[in-house]
């Protein structure tokens, strides 16, 4: 039975990107249904297809799964290659995916995903830098301790962990966050992923603007490229 994935605007919806890129990477057929979102928080207009009033939401027949990590776990039930094969690597991948799902509020709150943004950047406040340092440490450990194949992703082969951190890749790139070598290489690897490039093309074609997110361009030092918001 085919999957149907309800998602928000590609320019802004970090949560929607996660299951979308996982499905695309694994080559799993699905029907994509974009819906209008007005900003943060549940929306009553979504409840006809999403129990918590948020996107993304995955449908398979009469089964509905919301929350990005739960959706990815559901996909992994039928496509176990979505997690690393080694049990220790898989445990670490699950731990860092859960940490991403629940944490890093300083990055989320101050650097909302905005694919069109090309900020010059500026020195990070301590609370944001702490989050960035932790994310970079996670990427470093995954790449140097658990990447048991020649693949370029966190665990060698692409996994749910990469899908969970994909929105942070956009944040670090769009807000021009300086990264250590391993993290910068991983960022560039993810930006080159065909599904990330397809997501970017669609995001750049969108005409919807969420003013409070777009206004952050000035906060982060103006534009290093000409970008229409």
pLDDT tens column, 67-106 = 999 999 999 999 999 999 999 999 999 999 999 999 999 9
What is the overall mean pLDDT for the chain?
A: 92
Asked whether the predicted pLDDT for residue 151 surpasses 60, the reply is: yes
What are the φ and ψ backbone dihedral angles of 193, each rounded to 5 degrees?
-60, 135
List, for residues 124-135, the tens digit of each pLDDT value.
Answer: 999 999 999 999
**DSSP letter, residue 37:** -
Tens of pLDDT, residue by residue over 7-61, are 999 999 999 999 999 999 999 999 999 987 665 555 666 666 676 777 899 999 9
38: Cβ contacts below 8 Å, ≥ 6 apart: none
Write down the pLDDT at residue 45: 64
User: What's the mean pLDDT in 179-202?
Assistant: 98
By CB atoms closer than 10 A (0-12, 13-18, 19+), residue 64 is: middle
For residue 224, the model assigns a pLDDT of 86
Given a cut of 80, whether residue 186 has pLDDT beyond it is yes
pLDDT band at 119 (very low <50, low <70, confident <90, very high): very high
The residues, ordered by sequence, that sit 6+ positions from 221 with a Cβ below 8 Å of its Cβ are 119, 120, 121, 122, 176
**pLDDT score of 194 more than 60:** yes
For 83, the 3-state DSSP assignment is coil
Q: What is the pLDDT of residue 201?
A: 97
CA atoms lying within 13 Å on the CB side of residue 167 = 23
Domains with residue ranges and CATH for the chain: 3-80 (3.40.30.10), 83-213 (1.20.1050.10)
Residue matched to tokens 């969108």: 206
């Amino acid at each position: 039975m085919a999957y149907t994935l309800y998602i928000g605007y590609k320019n802004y919806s970090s949560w929607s990107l996660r299951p979308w890129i996982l499905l695309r990477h694994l080559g799993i057929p699905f029907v994509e249904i974009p819906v209008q979102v007005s900003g943060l928080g549940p929306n009553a207009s979504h409840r006809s297809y999403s129990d918590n009033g948020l996107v993304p939401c995955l449908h398979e027949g009469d089964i509905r799964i919301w929350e990005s990590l739960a959706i990815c776990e559901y996909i992994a039930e039928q496509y176990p290659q979505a997690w690393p094969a080694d049990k220790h690597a898989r445990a670490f991948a699950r731990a860092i995916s859960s940490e991403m799902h629940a944490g890093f509020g300083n990055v989320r709150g101050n650097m909302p995903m905005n694919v069109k943004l090309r900020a010059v950047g500026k020195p990070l406040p301590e609370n944001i830098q702490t989050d960035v340092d932790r994310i970079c440490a996670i990427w470093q450990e995954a790449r140097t301790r658990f990447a048991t194949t020649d693949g370029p992703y966190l665990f060698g082969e692409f996994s749910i962990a990469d899908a969970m951190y994909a929105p942070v890749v956009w944040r670090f790139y769009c807000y021009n966050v300086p990264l250590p070598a391993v993290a910068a290489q991983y960022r560039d690897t993810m930006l080159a992923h065909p599904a990330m490039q397809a997501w970017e093309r669609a995001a750049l074609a969108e005409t919807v603007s969420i003013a409070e997110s777009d206004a952050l361009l000035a906060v982060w030092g103006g534009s290093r490229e000409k970008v229409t918001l």
